[in-house]
Amino acid sequence: MRGEIESNMAVDIRLAGTRETTKRAVPDEIANLVTPGDVITSDTGFMRGHGTYMEDDKLHTSVAGVVERVNKLICVKPVKTRYNGEVGDVVIGRIIEVGQRRWKVETHSKLDSILMLSSVNLPGGELRRRSEEDEKMMRHYLKEGDLISAEVQSVFSDGALSLHTRSLKYGKLGQGTLLQVSPSLVKRRKTHFHHLPCGASMILGNNGYIWLCPTVSEETGTETGGYDQDLQPVTKGDRQTVARLRNCILAQAAHGMMLFDTGILYTYEASLKYPVKDIMKPEVMTEIIEITNHRQEVEGS
Amino acid sequence: MAGLELLSDQGFRIDGRRPHELRKIQCRLGIFKQADGSAYIEQGNTKVLAAVYGPHEIRGSRGKALHDKVLVNCQYSMATFSTGERKRRPRGDRKSQEMTMHLKQTFDAAIQTALYPRSQIDIFVEVLQSDGGNYCASVNAATLAVIDAGIPMKDYVCACSASFVSDTPIVDISYLEESSGGPELIVATLPKSEQIVFLEQNSRLHEDNLSKVLDLAVKGTKDVHHVLDQAVREHVSQVSAFENTDQS
């Protein structure tokens, strides 16, 4: 009996000392690398961008990163930072508070984002002025803990974001997996909603939140803005696909690769010869990533 | 402390260092996945972990929010096993409260607080092993963690301690030298501009000797800065190396 359990539930645990270090041979130090307090230039002809400050007529750095120059504007982009919202970005967020005519949404930004009652589509898609009835029903539509996909409508002066979900592709998210990567790894592209041929849908939020769920067939439709939730159990096959995708994306993120649909699909295909849970093993991860990198170079995506 | 010679006739200290030598510094950045920034530092036998969260919305009482700058919230704590004697250390005790306050003042001065109004930055510092210079190691670890989090600072903040033994100033003092009853000077600076952001002195030191000891401590912070800067550069080039190569 004991042996049976052990053989069925084998767990792969490694000592910290025997783990492969993820360090790779570093090429020579990157040019234009600066750390806080460095002087970029004492020429006053330049404009001060993000990550810099002016003191004694000299332009200093305030973060560690690479200097970027666009004409006369100098900025320093830190390697890792919180999400900086821009109008038009697709984000995924979690409702943390229901307030007066607005929801507070956590989007891994510096301040909580705001979703106004007037900038959501009501269930049923009717367009009208929001009445007091709607205000009372707010918690019925979206309550604390719900996940939503939304678009950035505007940025307030203090950096807080105002979101909207006035399109049927945005709205409440149902059953699926959320994962979080660094916001700098998500490319800004024309589309962030993908129906992958492996039978899963993916939303790549610009804020580094990624949503994976099984693709729902068109006739049942997601055209309700997500208010009608389908809570049918997801089949095992779908769950495995989603789990595999999740592990593939995490593997890519661990190797600092930019995330976009074709790249993720290549990784997914490269991982197919391994069981889902093995993808997280460092050596398997490295192999899959190498295959993906090679394929991307060959196909020149 | 008769019989304990802090500085030998040959000019060596108990642990074999010369008066102006720092202990060995080893550090790593980005050790936690969950935190926005994190760092670990070893200065000799003093080992400190730091984690930074934020800037984020004010949690807890909304009233603490500052409308024109970010709220820097620090928490200093020592592990039960950090000293020779095992002891439960509740977070609220006087010593760590004072340390928390000092850290807050230090980082308020260094972080560009005006950039993030109405938000909050949390800095958590945990001393894992204590062998003198806890404040210094905490400041150095927290600096690295803040840089790792990508939070804009005027400069690194580096801290270093110094003492004065038999007419010689000594730098980066260990627990033994700290507890021998001699004077102790702790200084935190912005090393590039040599601005002092924090200065603390314990027990008495003659005025004539102050400038000598202070100069050595400030030089110590510059040496610390050099080591930290190396570590940050290595970390940043490592992380951004693949990001650049993978951009297709």
* Domains observed in chain B: 25-246 (3.30.230.70)
- Average pLDDT value for residue range A152-175: 90
* Cβ-based contacts of B57 with chain A (< 8 Å): 111-112
pLDDT at A8: 63
Interface test with A, best of B189, B238, B245 (most A CBs within 10 A): B238
Start-to-end CA span in chain B (Å): 66
Name residues 143-202 of chain B within 8 A of A (Cβ). 147-156, 190-193
* Cβ-based contacts of B120 with chain A (< 8 Å): none
pLDDT at A281: 87
Closest CA to B72 of B177, B167, B143, B155: B143
pLDDT at B23: 95
Which of B116, B118, B192 is opposite residue A37, by nearest beta carbon? B192
- Average pLDDT value for residue range A291-297: 90
Residue ranges of alpha helices (H) inside B47-93 are none
Contact A111 B119 (CB under 8 A): yes
pLDDT at B245: 46
pLDDT tens track for A104-117: 999 999 999 999 99
Contact A36 B240 (CB under 8 A): no
Cβ–Cβ under 8 Å, residues B233 and A28: no
Contact A110 B55 (CB under 8 A): yes
In tens digits, chain B (248 residues) has pLDDT values of 455 788 888 889 999 999 999 999 999 999 998 899 999 999 999 999 999 998 999 887 777 888 889 999 999 999 999 998 898 877 778 989 999 999 999 999 999 999 998 899 999 999 999 999 999 999 999 999 999 999 999 999 999 999 999 889 999 999 999 988 889 999 999 999 899 999 999 999 999 999 999 999 999 999 999 999 999 999 988 887 655 544 43
Q: Least CA distance to B153: which residue of chain A?
A: A62
Largest CA distance in chain A: 78
Distant-in-sequence, close-in-space partners of B180: CB < 8 Å, separation ≥ 6: B1, B4, B6
Which of B118, B150, B151 is opposite residue A158, by nearest beta carbon? B118
pLDDT tens track for A200-222: 999 999 999 999 998 876 545 44
pLDDT at A26: 54
Q: Least CA distance to B238: which residue of chain A?
A: A26
Percent of chain A scored above 90 by pLDDT?
Answer: 44
pLDDT at A1: 44
How far is C-alpha B196 from the geometric centre of its chain's CA atoms? 14
Q: Tell me the ipTM for this assembly.
A: 0.84
Contact B150 A80 (CB under 8 A): yes
DSSP helix/strand/coil, B241: helix
- Average pLDDT value for residue range A135-148: 90
Closest CA to A63 of B235, B149, B236, B152: B152
pLDDT at A174: 86
Give the C-alpha separation, B239 to A23, whole Å: 10
In chain A, domain spans: 33-78
- Average pLDDT value for residue range A135-163: 91
pLDDT at A122: 79
Write out chain A in H/E/C secondary structure. Answer: CHHHHHHHCCCCCCCHHHCCCCCCCCCCCCCCEECCCCEEECCCCCEECCCEEEECCEEEECCCEEEEEECCEEEEEECCCCECCCCCCEEEEEEEEEECCEEEEECCECCCEEEEEEEECCCCCCCCCCCHHHHHCHHHHCCCCCEEEEEEEEECCCCCEEEEECCCCCEECCCCEEEECCHHHECCCCCCEEEECCCEEEEECCCCEEEEEECCCCCCCCCCCCCCCCCCCCCHHHHHHHHHHHHHHHHHHHCCCCECHHHHHHHHHHHCCCCHHHHHCHHHHHHHHHHHHHHHHHHCC
Q: Least CA distance to A29: which residue of chain B?
A: B237
pLDDT at A64: 92
C-alpha Rg value of chain B to the nearest Å: 19
- Average pLDDT value for residue range A269-292: 90
Contact A36 B155 (CB under 8 A): yes
Which of B55, B156, B244 is opposite residue A82, by nearest beta carbon? B55
Cβ–Cβ under 8 Å, residues B156 and B225: yes
State yes or no: pLDDT of A249 exceeds 50: yes
Q: Give A204 to chain B, closest Cα distance, Å.
A: 17
Contact B248 A296 (CB under 8 A): yes
Which of B150, B247, B248 is opposite residue A79, by nearest beta carbon? B150
- Average pLDDT value for residue range A153-181: 90
pLDDT at A225: 56
A33-78 placed in CATH 1.10.510.10: no
* Cβ-based contacts of A26 with chain B (< 8 Å): 234, 237-238, 241
What the block records as the tokens of B27 is 């550090």
Give A125: exposed, middle or buried? Use CB within 10 Å, 0-12, 13-18, 19+: exposed
Q: Is B95 on the interface with A (CB under 8 A)?
A: no
* Cβ-based contacts of B40 with chain A (< 8 Å): none
Give the C-alpha separation, A123 to A105, whole Å: 19
Give the C-alpha separation, B135 to B132, whole Å: 9
- Average pLDDT value for residue range A89-115: 93
Q: Give B65 to chain A, closest Cα distance, Å.
A: 12
What the block records as the tokens of B18 is 């010369």
Contact B239 A81 (CB under 8 A): no
Q: Give B152 to chain A, closest Cα distance, Å.
A: 5
Give the C-alpha separation, A21 to A204, whole Å: 29
Contact A258 B243 (CB under 8 A): yes
Only one residue has tokens 């055209």, namely A223
Chain A / chain B CB contacts < 8 angstroms: 120
* Cβ-based contacts of B230 with chain A (< 8 Å): none
pLDDT at B247: 42
pLDDT at B248: 37
Side-chain half-sphere of B134: how many Cα atoms within 13 Å? 21
Cβ–Cβ under 8 Å, residues A95 and A112: no
State yes or no: pLDDT of A226 exceeds 70: no
String of b and e for A138-174 (b: at least 16 CB within 10 Å)? beebbeeebbbbbbbbebeeebbbbbbbeeebbbbbb
- Mean pLDDT estimate for chain A: 85
pLDDT at A15: 79
* pLDDT bracket for residue A63 (50, 70, 90): very high
pLDDT at B110: 93
More confident residue, B143 or A24: B143
pLDDT at B93: 87
What the block records as the tokens of B234 is 């290595």
Which of B149, B237, B242 is opposite residue A255, by nearest beta carbon? B242
State yes or no: pLDDT of A4 exceeds 60: no
Q: Is B37 on the interface with A (CB under 8 A)?
A: yes
